[in-house]
Structure 1
Amino acid sequence: MSVSLRLVPSPPRVDAPAPDWSHVARLSDDTGLLEHARNATVRREHGYCVDDVARGLVVASREPQPTARVIGLAERYLAFLTHATAPDGGVRNRLTYDRRWLDEPGTGDWWGRAVWGFGTAAARSTVPWIRREAREAFAVAVRRRSPWPRAMAFAGLGAAEVLRADPRAGDAAQLLGDAATVIGLPGRDPGWVWPERELTYANPALPEVLIQAGDLLGDEPLLADGLRMLGWLCRMQDHDGHLSTVPVGGWRPGVERHRFDQQPIEAAATADACATAAAVTGDDSWEGPLVGAIAWFLGDNDGGTVMYDPQTGGGYDGLTPDGPNLNQGAESTLALVSTLQHARTLAGRGATRP
């Protein structure tokens, strides 16, 4: 299905570096992926969280030709997530550096991201035993549901991965449909089509799930709704021709939009959603906001500053009014690597076009 929408004008192609796993490896040990860093130095006192380990498994599983280092990271991340998952499908989130869980299993955002990680590894890993183990873990975790739209959106993205790889996967189809229901549909007011009264965090994941559900479940109106939501969000996030992501604190109708602090994970989520829209519809106009998300890391942003350290391979933790937050934690670094994966794919596609 090809759906044309009035999107932000396409920025020029950008020369982006290749994905660099050096800092992800620096933040990782034989347990998992440590959450925080001061500059590029890991802060062990803050321990690990499933949120970031799951992100790590998603991004590692997306590598089409992973190195031995990346495969080793994926193995550790998968083991961490299976250890965090209870028999009933609930998932713990926080583990101290001395390996003590700080919470009970639940279905918050971290559960959704664990499902996303399991689903992506099950569908995309190049290693057969990782695919099998991840599929078994996915089947356990999807026994649960969350009342929270973003948790369900993350889980829905994992379900879409499984269903695209195996159209007979009934557990994935059911979860994807449930995720779309919890997210809701866009409104009729063209000034604010979002199904919520504010834009908060991980916003692009919501329309991405509707797009995936509409495509994989054969629901064209739902697909159109997802595309309409994403197109509106892309226009909302355009500022003088570059990407300006929804910052910490969010945006609300009728309230002046503030621009800082912007988080790299929002640019990465925009890239993911636009890449999905382009793949599902075949409409190259979605590459415009995708390239804008890549360019955000390279300095085409509200601060006019590069958002990563080329010496370490780490992504900076946020864009503030005074420039980048130079700490290079797991979330931001994985957001960088994920977005550069899209840049590599685009570059390869461009090289084959007449």
Structure 2
Amino acid sequence: MTSVTARELSEVVAAVADVAAAHAEQVDREAQFPFAAMNALQSGRLLSAGIPAEFGGGDQDIDFLARTTTALARKCGSTGLIFAMHQSQVVSLVRHSEGEAAQRALRRIAAGELLVASATTEASSGGDIRTSSCFVERDGSRFRLLKQAPVISYGRQADIILVTARRDAASAPQEQVLVLCDRDGVTLEQNVDWDVLGLRGTCSHGYLLQAEGDATDAVMTTPYAVISAQTMLPVSHILWAAAWLGMAEEAIDRARLFVQASARRNPAATPPGALRLAEATAQLHQMRALVSASIVRFKELVDFPQGLSRFATVVEFNSLKVSASALVVDIAAAAMSICGIAGYRSNGKYSVARILRDAYGAALMVNNDRILGNNAQLVLAGKTF
């Protein structure tokens, strides 16, 4: 991918987005994984876009990953979010690839355009991803682990699942490692169905996960606390926000087309939705600025790990997630109000129904109340601006 031009890359992304759009309604209606869009992503070598060239990847930065996420999510929220979640895991491997396990995984992902998922939540922790009750059990060079995971997005379709667990049975709940679990060594026993309001194509069922394999190839040497603070948290929040931005852009575009059609029918009068459209467009610009600023901020700190671990930075990227997840709902709801019944319908070119349903999931992906609670503790602990 390093030899292609920016224009060619843009054309690849646009083509994949068209595939996602063609299947978005079926993906949502049947709660079906977006297989066609995923095949297009793999054919376009976009799953490995963020992997350095030395490992066989496309050598693209966070700007490209965010723009691609936005373009995909405009057409299918589930596809955009799957891409975002995959890339947040890949970037975590890239930025903490000092160990041979991560390096081998990156080469495999690039060579096979493998899909990477994560299992960071645990039934016993109430959604707190920074603690684990499960642990890595070692037997010589082999490992085993058992995790009750209430949510693993696209777990059945993933080639690799990054799983958080305690380093061993004697470790404290916060002493976590990240384990690269290959599909061949993973057994998933589904125990929670993903029958939800929106983002149905992410197929985020709950599972009892059992994994085993070679510990040398699987257990990352960098503690998960470091990976989370310096990469996974900021990158996840940036790319999630980029996905929600795509949904918001599509909602505003449909509202704009509706108002323009109304204006053509009666050129002598300003359509009643025009003012609301202007207000919602201002919110969209605010959201774009928020995502753009967060990307700039991450790039400023990318070579300054201590800066990414500071309380102020954690609060900053947590706030991005909270703000963007609220804005996407406000914008999509405004678009539905502008389009009226046409926006409320489940079909038609002005429908905003699927977008709004998807948008409501944003605040629940690591619940905003939990994030604000963490921010509250950090604000009390020290300077956060």
Q: Which structure: greater helix fraction?
A: 2
Name the TM tier (shorter chain): under 0.3
**Computing the radius of gyration over CA atoms, which structure comes out larger, 1 or 2?**
2
TM-score by length of 1: 0.28
Q: Which structure: greater strand fraction?
A: 2
